[in-house]
Amino acid sequence: AEKQSPLCLFQFHQDGFLVLENFFSAEECDSMRNQIGSIVAEMEVPPHCRTEFSTKEQEQLQAQGSSDYFLTSGDKIRFFFEKGVLDDRGNFLIPKEKSVSKIGHALHAYDPVFKQITHSAKVQELGRKLGLERPVVVQSMYIFKSPKLRLVAVTPHQDATFLHTEPLGRILGFWIALEDATRDNGCLWFIPGSHTGGISRRMIRAASGSSTCVEFVGSEPAYDDSQFIPLPINKGGLILIHGEVVHKSELNSSEFSRHAFTFHVMEAKDTSWSKENWLQPTPELPFPSLYT
């Protein structure tokens, strides 16, 4: 972590992202992969995934179950599945470790391995070099990107669409490659400098009684594909992601998975967290300080 020169930080402010190779060791990456393996091995499929579709009413209950499961996952460790991996009784059609799309959103708070990584000395030191005074961790996710499931690509987006603050510019993503991320297996792509124009879309909690749990306000502009540059990164590398930079990832067309652990930090000093965000701190889990 000696490599963050002022030059690097200048690069981050200019591009809206920064690639730091070899930030974590192979051992640290393997400890996260092993831990997630144990978590998946003990995983129970949530009840709302086990409903058999028969009536419209049950479909609505199922959808409501899914939305509640998502909306209340901020202070829990929960499982989100790829489409089409469960039959109508909630049994796995493929090995369960390949069926999970992501696990979120409080690994950083409740799992000892992920907590240790999130608050590791080198992450805290990087926060200080970035000038963060009161950074708090708002959420974390383990992303699998399994091979050959014809999985959906992650369309171009800005993280601040989902994690809105006043003022903007207070959200920072830490994206850790637990395996090599290549152009073939779905590495991240960015539009350099796209973090300076604000945001065009927000995801907010829907009014109670709505058929969906969240809704989008505004619209995502059509981005020019030729503006995106790929950021392949080796196992152990860290990509810092400004909350407003536009980024995406393509399908994993390879034979290899692309596991990543990611968490988001907010500079809490002079910042307000939107009450309309899907994710809200709870009495059980107020956003913990990054600095320990």
Ordered by start, the domain boundaries in the chain are 6-273
Per-residue pLDDT reduced to its tens digit, 112-141: 999 999 999 999 999 999 999 999 999 999
Per-residue pLDDT reduced to its tens digit, 79-93: 998 888 888 788 889
Characterize the bridge pairing of strands 214-218 and 229-231.
Answer: unpaired
Instruction: Tokens for 58, please give them.
Output: 């049950």
pTM: 0.94
Cα–Cα distance measured from residue 277 to residue 171, given in angstroms and rounded to the nearest whole number: 13
Q: Rounded to 5 degrees, what angle do the CA atoms 208, 214, 218 make?
A: 120
Lowest mean pLDDT among 105-109, 121-125, 206-210: 206-210
Classified as helix, coil or strand, 12 is helix
CA-to-CA separations, 153 to 195, 247, 250, in angstroms, rounded = 21, 12, 5
**Fold exhibited by the domain 6-273:** Jelly Rolls (2.60.120)
Mean pLDDT over 221-249 rounds to 97
Give the pLDDT band (50/70/90) at residue 220.
confident
CB 191 within 8 A of CB 279: no
Per-residue pLDDT reduced to its tens digit, 4-56: 567 788 999 999 999 999 999 999 999 999 999 999 999 988 888 876 666 77
Mean pLDDT over 86-107 rounds to 89
Cα–Cα distance measured from residue 262 to residue 280, given in angstroms and rounded to the nearest whole number: 18
Cα–Cα distance measured from residue 39 to residue 11, given in angstroms and rounded to the nearest whole number: 37
